[in-house]
Amino acid sequence: MGKAALITGGGKRLGKAISLSLAERGYDIAVHYNHSDKEAIETAELIRAKGRKAETFQANLSDIKQVRTLIPKVFEVFPKCAILVNSASIFEDVAFNDVTEEVFDRDFNTNFKAPFFLSQDFSKENSAELIINMLDMRINKIETKHFSYNLTKKSLRDFTLMAAKDLGPKIRVNGICPGPILPPPDKGLEYLEKIAQNTPLKKPGNPDYIISAVEYILDNTFVTGQCLFVDGGQHLV
């Protein structure tokens, strides 16, 4: 059995793209999902069609008890798991005065607490080599829309830097900060086109740009503690 990678939220959107690209690079894939069982199964089937092993793992990342069982379950199946990609997150447009304790806990549990403890558990495994945290170009800006969501990603950015310092030289830790790559589930491509007009490159992205960033981090083993913006320059405006 060869090296493997665990991708949270690996059954759809950017998680799916990353899962398939790592499979093409020769990695077996642990596809995590919460509710998207159909998409996770379909992604696993696509990975197997590429000649790699794939299994799906269900866990609600807002429940710390389920979070703490995920890494042990993955390593039972993939004892040489070398990569953890913390891709799963929730994106809620809630203003400061509307953030309830329930919203706050849901955002921080899924977007920060889960990646923190998944990384901690993963780092204790002998085969662990690389952690990639999916961030957001908003970490470089002061925006008050999506108030608690933005806080979670800013926290995850600082964790990425601290973990890179603490876990080296054994494990590298980096982040990727997407911009207008995919529209929200309830929006179309015109939504991305409109946003892109306010960026320096004035064009929307696509998942291939994120895959290129993952491959750069994977190949350049002298890179750790970096947060790579893949956003057409959106963080500059």
Residue 199 confidence (pLDDT) above 90:
yes
Which tens digits make up the pLDDT trace of 118-169? 999 999 999 999 999 999 999 999 999 999 999 999 999 999 999 999 999 9
Domain of 229, CATH number, reads 3.40.50.720
Q: Residue 196: give the domain boundaries.
A: 4-236
Residue 187 has a pLDDT of 83
**Beta strand segments in the chain, E:** 4-7, 28-33, 54-58, 81-86, 130-134, 172-178, 227-230
Residue 1 has a pLDDT of 65
- Overall domain count for the chain: 1
Residue 186 has a pLDDT of 81
Give how far the C-alpha of residue 195 lies from the chain's centroid of Cα atoms, to the nearest Å: 22
Q: pLDDT exceeding 90 applies to what percent of the chain? A: 94
CA–CA distance, 184 with 191 (Å, rounded to integer): 9
Residue type, 175: G
For residue 157, give the nearest of 86, 52, 65 by alpha carbon.
Answer: 86
pTM reported for the whole predicted model: 0.96
Show the CA angle centred on residue 171, arms to residues 165 and 177, nearest 5°.
70
For residue 107, give the nearest of 122, 119, 96 by alpha carbon.
Answer: 96
Which tens digits make up the pLDDT trace of 73-106? 999 999 999 999 999 999 989 999 999 999 999 9
